[in-house]
A and B are shown apart, each in its own frame.
Chain A
Amino acid sequence: MFKFDLLNYKTSSYILLFLSLLTILFDVTYLNQLLFVAVLIFSILQNIMQYRFKTVVSSIVALIVIYLQFKLSENTFSKEFFLNLILILVFIKFSEIKNKKDHYFFNFTVIFLTISSLIYGQDFLSSINSFLLMLVSIIHLYSLNQKKILNINTKYLFKYLSISLLILPIMTLVYFIFPRYEINIKIFDTQKNTLGIPETLKLGSFTDISDNNQTVFIYNNDQNQTSNNPLYFRVKIFDLINDAKFWITTPNNNIVKHFGKTHKIKKNDSPFIEEAKILIYPNDKTWLPVLKSFDYDNRLVNNDFLNGTAISVKKISKKKKYLIQSSKYSIDYNKEFLKFYHRLPSSLFSQKLINWSNELRNTSSSDIDYLNNIMKHFANGEYYYTLSPTVDKTNDYEKFFFKTKRGYCEYYAGMFAILARLQNIPTRIVAGYLGGEYNDRGNFYTFKQSDAHSWVEVYTDDKKWVRYDPTLVIPNKNILSFNNSSLQSIQSTQMDNDQEINKLSMLKLYYDYFDYTWTNKFLDYDTKSRDNFLKTKIKNFELQKEVYIIIISFLLLLLLYKFLMLIFQRKLFFNLFFNKIKYQYNIINKPLTHQELSKILSKKEKNSLSEIFKVYEKSTFSKKYTLKLSEFFYINYKIIKYHYFNRLN
């Protein structure tokens, strides 16, 4: 005997309460977390205490919390705001629980929260949490109604299990074949997020976005396992500096309008095409990260061959997998067009800087030598890498270069580009992500927002854009604070190689791997995947003879089983027999005994069918009577002959 011990419904309601908190807790700010914990404590106390005007107090608290939540959501009616409100509703409902009816409402609200929270994130951990919530809410529903736990007899266990197993084919069918539609009803926009790269680049514009540990995308290249070269993912190109010394992106339309004839797109003839996967996390923006000389293989992505970047047609509102492959096209630049890349309003900079640049150029043998000398200048030990340089609202690059000498990637990249452009060298700033955290279990790189980086590209005489990353030349001892984990690892590749990976980071590694697999294999299944799946299955269906064989042999076995059971139980078709007589004499609805029926029959019929009546009497009324196999076949044969062919003999 198996006994399922189900919990008391009050305990399960507490578990539901805490699991509900966990669904959202890690996706909100610390202040919001504090608010949730405070409301949770209030609801538990309110639930325990008994006093008058409980509902009034709850309502007042609810109104205050809604106001505070609105303030914490930066005064916006965002999706997150409403999701948080559902959690608050769960808490308030818990505080007001008096009877079982309230428990039902509480339970349904929790299920509502479970499903709606999944619209925002379906990573491995939140999925487990949701499944747990569902399980506990089912237990809660049971415990609400029953005082006793059902003892399931082993005899029935198989029956219950077989019913439970029905879920598998149903799930598979619904999951693989059920229609899916992509309808993104945008009623409320998501809260202002800091994922991505700023629209314009000025000193300090990375400060707000780099202090963020959220995952931005995952890169996976099965063909090229681990490469020693750091991965530079491009997101935006800043090719123009305006009068306020802001680096901006020139829209492609403008470039085509002014320099349309000065550059050509040509097709590459490289036979080798390298492919890799990118899994983008939702950011509600259109930019996509791409490696140099790679393009997106997707109709809904516009590849910008001029800048080597890509933009999605739709905003990315959920996790999405993309395929990138070696670029099939490259750009042929005209000298005229290259002048665009050394535009620099000289009036913006002081004579001191221009003189410094000219002096360095004069001492350098070539443009390349000049650029290398700038790099050496940054590496001379006077410059420091810090995430909190003195904030300067005037956006003064010269102050950084000559005085403060403290900054991070965009300071160095911006300054480097200005110095290059002062000597008419075609330069542009590239902003994107550098490094990424490598996961050796799943062979993929996770890029976080803190991996945001900017560097410079210079067009050389070899007709190529060459990458210069002035941030990387800052000596190790001059790095004061950093977010980009890869920055240090790239600089000191051999330093901590022997350091033991502790258990916690191993756990994180495995978690990331499971999460990646979960997302890649399960969550990524969408309309397109379903169409492809069905197409391939229907096309290959004829080939799969095994499926037919399995189905037919199963049916045959079933038939054989039925037949054997018929023989084993010696089942005679008396129903057919009596129905036939009733049908013949038009007395279908009359409840007559076999004796009454036999009286109706004609003499001829009586004589030929008397055997069947005798056997019926014996088998029904005598306990000792056992039917012989030959008799079983003979009687059934007679019945069938009589029923279907109307033959008496």
Chain B
Amino acid sequence: MISKNWEKFVTKYLIKRSNLHKNKLNKKNLYIFPNSNGFKLGAFIFFSFTASIFYQNNVGLLISIILFFVYFLSIIISYQNLNNIKIDPLTTLVPQNKNVYLDYLIHSLNDRERLNLNISNNESNIKNVDLTNQKKIAFKNTFLKRGVYEIPTLKLESFFPFGIIKTFGLVIFDQKLHIYPEPIKPPQELIKNLMIVNNLDENDYEFDRIEEASPGESLSRISWRHYSIKNKLFSKKFISTENNKEILIDIDLLNKKNLEKALSNAVYLIEYYYNKKINFALKYKEFTSKYSNSLTHKNDLLKFTANV
């Protein structure tokens, strides 16, 4: 009971301190405390120290002084094991209702080796890490609600070196976690309805290759540069692909009754067209995005769906 309340109190205080020093673990938000074994050993050393004084036991006195020193040294070493660590979250965009891995990159800000760090994002999910320069770790998570949230705080603990001193700290992140709706495949008819094929000019066709010109070909497609070099007629060939299509994903049209379902369908379509390398845009009420097929575009739209 006491330990639970104590832990609550400490965590509350830790969060307050860590909020001031986001993404970092340094002397400002790092705490050192003996664990139960440490208390036992400390009390025992103190007992032997006093006993040595009372009995004028010189060897005992020296041994207890050395043990005291080892205790003191283990506080310093344990502190150094966690001090000056920076953590950058690599994942900031994840789908709802799916098992996802949140990646973090841990940096040791000085080249000191760090051993036996226990990193956890909740009590059941603990990872043991040895760190030299930087290391990537991943935590499995499932998020049930879409939206924008704080990235789960990481708790770092170290019992290094003798298991008697616990150094711990919380890392709170500056970045936000966007949880977009779970992608659900919409009915096939809806997909067809969305397709808007644009009749594009020839000029918009993409250049593909050079071939030897056959008689009767349009002179506009002859590559005169190649003719000047090789003294032969070559014609430029163009291809027309589906890339040239542009698709507008209108959330309002997907499902009029259920917004969540409509958003899920939209997410599916965003990922689908992104993979197919077709330019797409998203429309929701007055908002209409630009047409593009880039990763940033996709992520922006996914973030939009998380926020709606």
Contacts and interface: CB of A to CB of B under 8 A. Distances in A.
A167 B41 contact: no
B73 A108 contact: no
A122 B67 contact: no
Interface string B43-70: 0100010011111111111111111011
Given A104-B37, A163-B76, A178-B53, A118 B65 contact: no
Interface stretch (B156-164, B218-226, B254-262): B156-164
A151 B41 CA distance: 26
A180 B53 contact: yes
A114 B51 CA distance: 13
B62 A171 contact: yes
Contact of A150 (B58, B64, B113): B113
B65 A175 contact: yes
B115 A148 contact: yes
A115 B64 contact: yes
A115 to B, nearest CB: 4
Nearest to A523: B58
Given A181-B53, A181-B54, A115 B65 contact: no
A184 B51 CA distance: 10
Given A167-B65, A167-B69, A170-B65, A122 B59 contact: yes
Given A163-B73, A178-B53, A526-B56, A145 B63 contact: no
A174 B48 CA distance: 14
B130 interface: yes
Given A145-B159, A148-B116, A170-B65, A138 B70 contact: yes
Given A104-B37, A145-B160, A150-B113, A527 B63 contact: no
Interface string B288-305: 000000000000000000
A435 B115 CA distance: 62
Interface string A164-189: 10110011001100111111110000
Nearest to A528: B56
Contacts of A122: 57-60
A146 interface: yes
Nearest to B61: A175
A175 B41 contact: no
Interface stretch (A126-134, A219-227, A406-414, A596-604): A126-134
B58 A522 contact: yes
Nearest to A117: B60
Contacts of A108: 40-41, 44
A184 B161 CA distance: 38
Interface residues of A, number: 47
Nearest to A100: B163
A122 B161 CA distance: 30
B51 A119 contact: yes
A114 B67 CA distance: 12
Nearest to B161: A142
Contacts of A151: 113
A130 B44 contact: no
B232 interface: no
Interface in B187-220: none
B136 interface: no
A147 interface: yes
A131 B63 contact: yes
Q: Which of A112, A138, A145, A171 counts the most B-chain CB atoms under 10 A from its CB?
A: A145
B67 A134 contact: yes
B160 A183 contact: no
Interface in B113-161: 113, 115-116, 130, 159-161
Interface residues of B, number: 38
Q: Which of A146, A156, A164, A318 counts the most B-chain CB atoms under 10 A from its CB?
A: A146
Given A112-B44, A163-B73, A525 B58 contact: yes
A341 B283 CA distance: 129
B286 interface: no
Q: Which of A108, A115, A167 counts the most B-chain CB atoms under 10 A from its CB?
A: A115
B242 interface: no
Nearest to A522: B58
Contact of B62 (A111, A175, A181): A175
Contacts of B112: 153, 156
Contacts of B65: 167, 170-171, 174-175
Contact of B63 (A118, A180, A182): A118
A62 interface: no
Nearest to A128: B59
A211 B148 CA distance: 88
Interface in B61-87: 61-67, 69-70, 73, 76
Interface of A is mostly: helix
A174 B163 contact: no
Given A115-B60, A122-B59, A145-B163, A153 B44 contact: no
A479 interface: no
A146 B161 contact: yes
A126 B51 CA distance: 18
B56 A119 contact: no
A612 interface: no
Q: Which of B56, B111, B161 counts the most A-chain CB atoms under 10 A from its CB?
A: B56
A144 interface: yes
Contacts of A171: 62, 65-66
Nearest to B40: A108
Contacts of A183: 54-55
Contacts of A487: none
A118 B113 contact: no
Contacts of B162: 138, 141-142, 145
Contacts of A156: 112
A142 B62 CA distance: 21
Contact of A119 (B37, B60, B67): B60
Nearest to B73: A163
B44 A146 contact: no
Contacts of B60: 115, 118-119, 122
Contacts of B58: 122, 175, 522-523, 525
A145 B55 contact: no
A167 B70 CA distance: 9
Contacts of A104: 37, 40, 163
Contacts of B160: 145-146
Nearest to B80: A156
Contacts of B164: 141
Interface string A92-108: 00000000000010001
Contacts of B163: 104, 141, 144-145
A181 B56 CA distance: 7
B39 to A, nearest CB: 11
A146 B116 contact: yes
Interface in A493-548: 522-523, 525-527
B56 A318 contact: yes
Contacts of B115: 146, 148, 150
Given A108-B40, A145-B159, A163-B73, 14 more contacts: A111-B41, A115-B60, A118-B63, A122-B57, A122-B58, A134-B66, A134-B67, A141-B163, A153-B111, A170-B65, A175-B65, A181-B54, A185-B54, A318-B56
11 contacts: A112-B48, A115-B51, A141-B164, A142-B161, A142-B162, A145-B163, A147-B116, A175-B62, A175-B65, A182-B56, A183-B55
Interface of A: 104, 108, 111-112, 114-115, 118-119, 122, 127, 130-131, 134, 138, 141-142, 144-148, 150-151, 153, 156, 163-164, 166-167, 170-171, 174-175, 178-185, 318, 522-523, 525-527
4 tightest A-B CB contacts, nearest first: A145-B163, A115-B48, A141-B162, A118-B60
